[in-house]
Amino acid sequence: MINIVIAFPKQEEADGIKAILMRHGYNVVAAYTSGSAAVHALDGMDDGILICGYRLSDMIYMQLRDYMPSSFEMLLITSRIIDDISVGSGIICLPLPLKGNSLINTVEMLSETIYQRRKKRKKQPLKRNEDEKKLIEDAKKVLMEKNNMTEPEAHRYIQKTSMDTGSTLSATAEMVIGILLR
């Protein structure tokens, strides 16, 4: 589910957008009137959508964009004509007066973008630190010595056990070392 945070200068505007989105099944985390409160809420999330107005009580949308994590998409809702928004800036603009269908369609499009990014991120192999690599190598050596396995067999054993238990390779390697070196 995609997290949505709303930031508008007037609470009733934010609540109105929140109501529309929630009626359509979206997870609106909160609605704020200040950019700093919205940024604080975003800090605990991996990704999502920030829906905001042009000017908040403490900053304008560009300052808010600078402070928010890069994994978030921004949907700017404004009556102003903004010429300096470029493609790839991570900002999508909707004009006021806001139409409910336009809002829902745009949020759906941004949600799909985030889902695709998540999917792509999951396909990338995990980057292990040196300690984890050493732990896995040590577990393979123990399996090779104690169970007369070859290096590929030991690696496959750790890999399969990891998948079967739903744990990481390093956690499985630690378990193997703990059991075989008692």
Q: How do residues 122-139 score in pLDDT, each as one tens digit? A: 787 767 888 999 999 999
Tokens of residue 99, six digits: 């139409």
Alpha-carbon gap, residue 157 to 176, rounded angstroms: 10
Tokens of residue 20, six digits: 């529309």
- pLDDT band at 180, cuts 50/70/90? confident
Q: Is 95 helix (H, G, I), strand (E, B) or coil?
A: strand
Q: What are phi and psi of 159, to 5 degrees?
A: -60, -45
Helices (H), 43-129: 61-67, 100-123
- pTM for the whole thing? 0.67
The H or E element spanning position 27 is strand 27-32
**Architecture in CATH of 130-180:** Orthogonal Bundle (1.10)
Helices (H), 2-51: 11-23, 35-42
Domain boundaries, the chain: 3-123, 130-180
Out of 1.10.1740.10, 1.10.3720.10, 3.40.50.2300, 3.10.620.30, the CATH code matching 3-123 is 3.40.50.2300
Q: Is 87 exposed, middle or buried (0-12, 13-18, 19+ CB in 10 A)?
A: exposed
Q: How do residues 81-140 score in pLDDT, each as one tens digit? A: 765 564 456 789 998 888 989 999 999 999 999 999 888 887 877 678 889 999 999 999
Alpha-carbon gap, residue 178 to 173, rounded angstroms: 9
The secondary structure of residue 127, as a DSSP letter, is P
